[in-house]
Amino acid sequence: MRDLQLPGRSVVHAVNGAASTSHPLSTMTAIDILKRGGSAADAAVAACAVQCVVEPMSTGIGGDNFVLYAPKGTDKVWGLNASGKAPKAISAEYLMERQINKIETESVHAVTIPGAIDGWDKLLKKYGKLGLEACLQPAIHYAEKGFAITPRVAHDWGRMAAKLKNDPSTAKKYLVKGQAPKAGDIHYLPELAKTLKAVAKKGRDAFYYGAIAADMVKHLKSHGGTHALEDFADAEAEIVEPIGTKYRGRTIRQIPPNGQGVTALVMLNILQGFDLSKYPPLSPERIHLEAEATRLAYSMRDMYVADPRFSDVPLKKMLSARYADELRAKIDMKKAMGPEEGSALPIYRDTIYLSVVDKDRNVCSFINSLYFGFGSTITSDKTGVLFQNRGAGFRVQPGHPNNIEGGKRPMHTIIPGMVTEKGKATVAYGVMGGAFQPVGHTHVLTNMFDYGMDPQEALDCARAFHLAGKLELERGIPAATASALEKMGHTITTPEMPWGGGQMIAIDWKKGTLAAGSDPRKDGMAAGY
């Protein structure tokens, strides 16, 4: 139990259902849907749609979606990859002919076809009870009638205000007299409300065909994009078999590549060989081991993770005990690795993750993203659809597994997580923050399974991230730990913003209760009934 004399929040316990999101309106929407008899799938889609309105830098209907779903709480976990593809007409050769050797984050060439709406539709058709129209009504209300800006949303909006002027359509919708709205201000998104109404009334086809698709293509082409109506018509989410590994007797599930979930599994495989519990949670030894596992696993990610429809991704090798042994042997407990061991350059970005469990114990781990804050910053004028910039995750490097090709999905950072044990789903969890996510997943799971923390404590615990040759420590990590890490050879810095933001719901099958936590680094909350 937490020290009640110190600032913090208690874990939420509930019986009938629970939801945890990074925005209060989203969490309340999910609980309302559950009370109306909706499933965890209904609640997740409704909550996410609200966040596409009220947390627009982090997610949107112009983005992508991944889901892990455990029907009735069994370990027969269903996976959904609703990540969009590059337009068919693009290629590395096309870009190089135009002297483009890297896809910039605010380039139209970074815009992949949005997969979220088709993903939501597939999830609801498989596991929903209320239908897409009912699930979109709360989001339509906030887009049309207005919503109050929360503090973390206001902070992120303000930090990104300058780049919103890149596209006049985006500036018109997301700035007020050239400025970002402030905390407590009311904001409206009428064009987005109109699009959501059309999708609610006519279904997912209203987004991928007809007037909405035509306006999106027209706007992207006006920026020099290669996008075509055919690309939107061909958009389709893929039902996938989750991958997993064992950690401390539990099975940790992830979506397979093109997602980076395998990176978290490799990190856990490396750490499996150490007794973390003999080191305090914020000790230099624990932080050092996590940092070294990060460097090794991310180097592996950059080498192999790509769209398996285009590249051979050696999952069997990557998840093998032998490979974990080889990587683990490179770790020196007293000294940081040299720079040659970890060449990955992960970057922090925005996303929303949410967990929902309903009265029937359907368990939903759900993530939706535009990638960078406000994605590509390109917004379709009539539809209000703000486009993601997932294509910035490609390389312009023929021969590399993640080289850009028409119809290909980029290496993707968003990863929902789920834990199963003895035939049951026991934890739905996720940690946002772009490339940080595998580290976040590893950190919260080891907090629970090595240190006995509850979901809220696991999310509260201070974080570190080895990034571009530096070990960035949140301010909650003791000075003595930072000093010891420096002596090991780590270059220590403090991040501008906290690392990520997570949500988690754990199921106690013996007691029949739920325990939900929500990350204090965001505006959200966990709730149950």
Q: How does 347-373 read in b/e, with b if 16+ C-beta sit within 10 Å?
A: bbbbbbbbbbbbeebbbbbbbbbbbbb
pLDDT of residue 343: 43
Query: Measuring CA to CA, how many Å separate 20 from each of 75, 264, 406?
Result: 21, 22, 37
- Return the residue matching tokens 């592996």: 300
Architecture of domain 240-348+415-528 in CATH? 4-Layer Sandwich (3.60)
Written as one letter, the residue type at 166 is: N
pLDDT of residue 346: 42
> Catalytic one among 351, 379, 426, 481?
351
Active site residue 377: no
CB atoms within 10 A of CB 453: 20
- Which 3 state secondary structure label does DSSP give 125? helix
- For the chain, the domains span 17-239+352-393, 240-348+415-528
Q: What are phi and psi of 123, to 5 degrees?
A: -60, -45
Q: List average pLDDT for each run of 10 residues in the chain, which is 529 residues long.
A: 82 98 98 98 98 97 98 98 98 97 96 98 98 98 98 96 96 97 98 98 98 98 98 98 98 97 98 98 98 95 94 96 97 86 51 97 98 96 97 95 96 96 98 91 98 97 93 96 97 92 97 98 97
DSSP label at 183?
Answer: T
Token representation of residue 353: 């993750």
pLDDT of residue 479: 97
* pTM value > 0.85: yes
The contacts of residue 306 (CB under 8 Å, 6+ apart) are: 257, 258, 313, 401, 402, 411
Compute the distance between CA of residue 344 and CA of residue 295 in angstroms, rounded to an integer.
7
CB atoms within 10 A of CB 99: 6
Helix, strand, coil % in the chain, rounded to nearest 5? 40, 20, 40
